[in-house]
Amino acid sequence: MTAPSDAEHAASRGEERLKARNRYEWIGVAHNKMLDDFRSDLRRPGTLSKNLCDYVGAFSMNEARIPVGRPRSPDNNWRAVEAVIDSSQLCSAKRRLRLSSGFAPYTFVAPVVEEPSRTALALLGQIDMALSVATSARDLANRFFPILDSAQGLSELEQAIVSATVSVAQNSFVYWSSQYPLFEAEAIAEYSPCIEEQLVMGNDRITDTCFIGKGSGGAVASIFSPDKGASQRLVRTRSRRTCGPSIKEGFRHIASADARGAWVGGFSGGLAGGLAGAVAGALAGGGGNSVFAAAENAWKTLKCMYGVT
């Protein structure tokens, strides 16, 4: 075997140095656990077909997402989650949805966000750039390290949000680079029965019916052919290989959404809850936006597979 190069050694050390250097590394770890917990729910047939947007909002705000002993937001993260939902392509309140009133004290007005400094905004741009060009998790970690150094001149609140965003982005990149194909398969298994059922019924509002949750969802529907009297599944018009974003494109899109969710969630939560609100908001915003982005990718794949709009 060829001995590792000095560059490989440095890259490996970079990942560990980033974790050790970032006092808010725990947020990225909790973020990935949040994704695992959500996917456990996804694998229970019918759970998400109730209403994905409502479900993710409530899930993200649940205090169970925050590790024991870590700071909690005084407003249960609703500002952070509302800001993230409003940016979602499928779940934006401006398009069709608002969280049920029983989940949180939603005002149905875009939440006020703490105004970041120019320096902080520049660092967010660097985080986005690093995510777009990194060739591996190790490469990404090395690109993030100087961003943490640059954040030291910011206020305590902005330092926390930049650090939390870096942690979420790094951990998300690692998570989705291996888990995205599995998540997509889980989403297809959850929503395919509803799409097939609605197509047989002649309903062309697939998104409103299945994604928002008026369809049967995870339990596979029995579709009877009038002439044969036998259950049959519809034949998909396209294979997965020809539909939806590529694996690379898919998980990079989600990692970027995670970072922006953590950023927006942090500044939204920080406005009302100070440092504690910012930290908890970054976790809720990053995790919520991660699920929304992954679901949007999978939904595009599904609609392409079935030839629906």
Is there a contact between 41 and 287 (Cβ–Cβ < 8 Å)? no
Give the model's pLDDT for residue 76. Answer: 62
Q: Is the distance from CB of 294 to CB of 183 less than 8 angstroms?
A: yes
More confident residue, 98 or 141: 141
- Measuring CA to CA, how many Å separate 228 from each of 144, 198, 223? 61, 20, 11
Report the range out of 12-16, 150-154, 196-200 with the highest average pLDDT. Answer: 150-154
Average pLDDT over residues 176-198: 84
Average pLDDT over residues 158-172: 95
Q: What are phi and psi of 231, to 5 degrees?
A: -75, 135
For the chain, how many residues are written?
309
Chain-wide mean pLDDT for the chain? 76
Rounded Cα distance, 12 and 9, in Å: 5
- 132 token code pair: 């777009």
Phi-psi region of 49 (alpha: psi -120 to 50; beta: other; left: phi over 0): alpha
Q: What is the pLDDT of residue 168?
A: 95
94 SS3 class: coil
Angle between helix axes 156-201 and 25-42 (nearest 10 degrees) is: 10
Residue % of the chain over a pLDDT of 90:
23
pLDDT value, residue 149: 92
Q: Give the per-residue pLDDT at 74.
A: 63
Question: 248 vs 216, which has greater pLDDT?
Answer: 248
**308, 106 contact by CB (below 8 A):** no
Stretch 230-257: mean pLDDT, rounded? 65
Those residues whose C-beta lies under 8 Å from the C-beta of residue 114, and which sit 6 or more positions away, are 157, 267, 268, 270, 271, 278
Segment 79-93 shows an average pLDDT of 71
Least trusted range by pLDDT, from 98-112, 164-178, 269-283: 98-112
CA dihedral (272, 277, 279, 284) positive or negative: negative
Handedness of CA 80, 118, 31, 177 (dihedral sign): positive
CB contact at 8 A, 173 and 131? yes
Residue for token pair 């952070």? 80
For residue 4, what pLDDT is reported? 41
At 100-118, the pLDDT tens digits run 433 433 333 445 556 789 9
Q: pLDDT value at position 217?
A: 43
Rounded Cα gap, residues 117 and 256, in angstroms: 20
Contact 200, 231 (CB under 8 A): no
Alpha helices in the chain (DSSP H): 6-21, 25-42, 52-61, 78-86, 118-133, 137-150, 156-201, 206, 247-306
Q: Is the pLDDT of residue 27 over 90?
A: yes
pLDDT of 209 higher than 60: yes
Q: CA-based Rg of the chain, rounded to a whole angstrom? A: 21
